[in-house]
Amino acid sequence: MDTREILEQLQKEQITLDQADHLLRRQPYEELGYAKLDMHRKVRSGCAEVIFCQGKADDHLLSIFSHLYEADGEVFGTRANEHQYALIREKFPQVSYDDKSHIIKIEKEDKTHIGSIAVCTAGTADIPVAEEAAQTAEYFGSHVERIYDVGVSGIHRLFSQLDLIQSANCVIAVAGMEGALASVLGGLVDKPVIAVPTSVGYGACMEGLSALLTMMTSCANGIAVVNIDNGYGAGYIANQINHLAK
């Protein structure tokens, strides 16, 4: 119901003044005191609210998890640790946890996964971030192809997978160190490349900042960048793009 409809109903006395007031003012979130759960994010953005578990207090995490589960029948949490998994499993034995991506979730069965997103990594150390991206996109309904360890130090490995990559609607390039993978992919595909710098490396890698700058300044076209190690963010926007393609 939009603003004009509410006004019309009020005029026609189909709703009371209090009801109209309430409808125009209602807070589409659940107030927990320490948090305001965004219960109609799904309506607004197409994807339900996700829990960033890292640093959450035990009682807060459990309470938020429960509220979201009640609302949607499924929950998705990122950056969870073993302790948090144990905590939630006590109340929700059906929860699953992946110690590579650190994703904890209860997921509805028989989801359809449409289209295709290619998730590529430069090395094996980038896989945890890549898995966060891949599993996020899968949770929101995308089909994902994983193409790992195709960094530019042995570029023939990348070329052997090019058909698979080029057939995707969106490519996610996950790379640490110098992050050159994003540029090379940008020059080879005609779909958007979402680049994820990782904190893999040492010294002048500066915890992923060098890879971020590399990806940001790429000479290739069709590349946009998310935060260091932000697999979730890449999976989220790639899923949006993939769903546009239908």
Exposure string (b/e) for 122-131, b if CB count within 10 Å is 16 or more? bbeebbbbbb
Count CB atoms within 10 A of the CB of residue 116: 19
Among 14, 96, 124, 167, binds a copy of itself (CB under 8 A): 124
Report in angstroms how near the CB of residue 114 gets to a copy of itself at its nearest: 13
Question: In sequence order, which residues have a C-beta less than 8 Å from that of residue 235 and are 6 or more positions away?
Answer: 117, 132, 133, 134, 135, 136, 137, 140, 172
Smaller CB separation from a copy of itself, 32 or 86: 32
Smaller CB separation from a copy of itself, 47 or 62: 47
Q: Is 119 in the site for a copy of itself (CB under 8 A)?
A: no
Q: Is 60 in the site for a copy of itself (CB under 8 A)?
A: yes
Window contacting a copy of itself (CB under 8 A); options: 1-9, 67-75, 85-93, 106-114: 1-9
Window contacting a copy of itself (CB under 8 A); options: 70-78, 88-96, 105-113, 152-160: 152-160
Smaller CB separation from a copy of itself, 71 or 245: 245
Tokens representing residue 179 in the block: 């992050």
Tokens representing residue 233 in the block: 């963010």
Q: Is 173 in the site for a copy of itself (CB under 8 A)?
A: no
SS3 104: strand
Q: Which residues from 181-240 bind a copy of itself, rule CB under 8 A?
A: 183-184, 186-192, 194, 197, 199-230, 233-234, 236-237, 240
For residues 154 and 148, the answer to whether their CB atoms sit within 8 Å is no
For the window 91-110, what string marks contact with a copy of itself as x by the rule CB under 8 A?
--------------------
Window contacting a copy of itself (CB under 8 A); options: 42-50, 66-74, 84-92, 102-110: 42-50
Smaller CB separation from a copy of itself, 18 or 109: 18
Question: In sequence order, which residues have a C-beta less than 8 Å from that of residue 102 and are 6 or more positions away?
Answer: 78, 79, 80, 81, 128, 132
Half-sphere exposure in the Cβ direction for 161 (13 Å, CA): 20
SS3 207: helix
Among 46, 96, 111, 167, binds a copy of itself (CB under 8 A): 46
